[in-house]
């Protein structure tokens, strides 16, 4: 029997067939990252319990952590009141969500001097995370 996918039809996909996704730490509530999903990515995320996104730059599915090992174990999937934004609550394996080696992608803070300043530490050098063989 085929899986019921009506729940995917409730999502308000944009003209490219994408929906924005906010990813949050399930325990602390900290926002870890923002990304996009297409229908297949959301379906795979729900099916396997690990975050799968759509990479707009690479134009392909992206299983978070496929290169770094920093997978996101999904604890909850929600949708907003307009059905056009997905919220993932995850357990961030390895404690690093950002490709820069930081806990969160939101590590830059606006300062009154009119500039952005990194305010979160690099936990692991990206060259050690993404080894080029």
pTM of the model: 0.90
| Phi, psi (rounded to 5 degrees) for 24 | -125, 145
What is residue 84's predicted lDDT score, i.e. its pLDDT?
Answer: 98
What is residue 1's predicted lDDT score, i.e. its pLDDT?
Answer: 47
Domains of the chain: 17-129 (3.10.20.810)
In contact, 74 and 88? CB cutoff 8 Å: yes
**DSSP assignment letter at 128:** H
Kindly tell me if the per-residue pLDDT of 131 is higher than 50: yes
Helix (H) or strand (E) holding 129: helix 126-129
For residue range 86-119, list pLDDT tens digits in order: 999 999 999 999 999 999 999 999 987 889 999 9
């Amino acid at each position: 029997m085929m899986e019921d996918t009506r729940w995917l039809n409730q999502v308000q996909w944009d003209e490219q067939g994408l929906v924005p996704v906010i990813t949050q730490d399930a325990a602390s509530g900290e926002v870890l990252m923002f990304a996009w999903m297409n229908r297949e990515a959301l379906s795979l995320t729900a099916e396997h319990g690990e975050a799968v996104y759509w990479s707009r730059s690479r134009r392909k599915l992206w299983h978070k952590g496929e290169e770094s090992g920093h997978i996101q174990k999904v604890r909850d999937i929600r949708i907003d009141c307009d059905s056009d934004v997905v919220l993932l609550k995850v357990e961030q394996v390895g404690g690093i969500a950002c490709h820069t080696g930081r806990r969160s992608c939101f590590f830059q803070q606006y300062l009154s001097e009119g500039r952005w300043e990194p305010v979160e530490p690099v936990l692991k050098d990206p060259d050690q995370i993404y080894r080029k063989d």
